[in-house]
Amino acid sequence: MCRSIKTLRPPVLPTEATEEDIRAAALQYVRKVSGFRAPAAHNREVFEQAVAEVTEATRRLLDGIEVRGGAGRRPVGEERVGDV
């Protein structure tokens, strides 16, 4: 387990995860799995592609998670009845 990756879902994260939060977690994951903090020039493209793919997979996961007993996730800008 990569200890520097934080949980990005409510209620652990008080607000919805930002793109920056999601990409940072993806970058940490790819660094851990690859064993490289920064890839050599000849590996940069595959490293960045992996970060992009993990970022997208993480975004889909977070968008699909239902938190029982909580407000759950909703698209940015969509308000619930009673929200001001």
Residue 54 to residues 6, 14, 20, 28, Cα–Cα distance (Å): 15, 23, 13, 10
Residue 74 lies in a domain: no
13 occurs within a structural domain = no
With respect to residue 43, please indicate whether it lies within any of the assigned structural domains: yes
Coil, helix or strand at residue 78:
coil
0.85 cut: is pTM over it?
no
Q: What digits encode the pLDDT tens for the residues 47-77?
A: 999 999 999 999 999 999 887 875 545 554 4
Q: Which domain holds residue 42?
A: 36-62
| pLDDT grade for 2, boundaries at 50, 70 and 90 | low
Rg (CA), the chain: 15
| Domain-embedded: residue 10 | no
Q: How many domains does the chain have?
A: 1
* Nearest alpha-carbon partner for 32 in 53, 1, 70, 62: 1
